[in-house]
Amino acid sequence: MTDPLAGVVVVDFSRVLSGPLATMMLADLGAEVIKIERPGHGDDTRAWGPPYHGGDSTYFLAVNRGKRSAVLDLATERGRAAARALAARADVLVENFRPGTMDEFGLGHDELAGVNPRLVYCSLSGFGSGRGRDLPGYDFIVQAVGGLMSITGEPGGEPMKVGVALVDVLAGLHATIGVLAALRRREQTGRGAHVEINLLSSLLSSLVNQASAYLCTGQPPVALGNAHPSIVPYELLHAADRPIALGVGTDAQFAALCAALDRPDLAADDRFRTNSARVANHERLITELDRAIRPLAAEEVLGRLRDAGIPAGPVNGVDEAFALADRLGLRPVREVGDGEGTVPQVASPFRLDGVSPASTRRPPGLGEHTEEILAWLRIAEAPPA
């Protein structure tokens, strides 16, 4: 299979999570990604441990496969000159500095677009390049101020963040989509674009039904624990030995659920017969379902629900989740690198004609490819013989 982005050169000035995730996905699709890092320190996540794998932070390893690392000191003219030379030859540039920082380095969009009009320049920030330009763009803070924590956690309990830096992940995905769209438009116009992504807007767009409910009713949603504001039952129920996630999206599924639990009377009860009625009588229904499920082992309950076609599953640990994906033939793990230098990685979720187009190059050591990249620039700049 031909890599979709073969021949595309990406210069990656980003660090931590949102930008590196976007550039890793571009690398998985075949792009040549050159990661620019600070002398002596590199990407902040190189120091974010434990845990470590072979001396490398597992956080850094998570989002940097498929790249080459070059150390450039942007505080020096020599470093900035090399960076400008890279940008002049690149198809894509990704950065997530504080807005205005790249301009201070002489590497802002407007200046580089004058040198390389075909450049797709992607900027990620916390709160945009306008009034929020000086606000710190940390995922946890954006989860807080962006409303996500207000709808996560138990009713009446302390607001709770999601267990992963989800807003950074969402922004990285949005950045990748924006870059791909700009590359496609460049095919039509011959010109690049300035793709701008900010974490707050990425989060608000990802609130989907919760945001829509607020915009249409004026009532802000609240935390419901594991319950759903518009679908019942859609939450955790407790079997004798472990909790079960149950999702019943239609009245027909609810009738099948009641039959599987030997409680057909619940499906005939006007308080529960329709989804709207179940939402209105949520607590009563969950009490009845709990009485039916709690005496049974989870394996028995899940077997009944599986036979009845009811969406349900156990609450797995991360280890069990990987084991499930492996049993289902989804090949969730791949080793990248060669010999003793291999690193286990989460496989790319992409499948193109049945093939996962993930890079096999292991995450780079700090400055591992600096001389190689600088030599490439010198060759590129040499006059023809």
SS3 270: coil
Among this protein's residues, is 43 annotated catalytic?
no
Q: 204 to each of 162, 196, 230, how far by Cα in Å?
A: 15, 15, 19
Reference 7, options 37, 27, 24, 32; nearest CA is 32
In angstroms, rounded to a whole number, what is the distance separating the alpha carbons of residues 253 and 310? 6
**Using CA atoms, how far apart are residues 356 and 20, in angstroms rounded to an integer?**
19
Structure tokens at 111: 């200046």
Residue linked to tokens 């916390």: 126
Say how far apart CA 62 and CA 83 lie, in whole Å. Answer: 25
Considering the candidates 91, 168, 241, 307, report the single residue annotated as catalytic: 168
State the sign of the Cα–Cα–Cα–Cα dihedral 107, 113, 116, 121.
positive
**How many CB atoms are located within 10 Å of the residue 59 CB?**
21
Q: Which of 227, 183, 211, 265 is nearest to 5 (CA)?
A: 183
Active site residues: 168
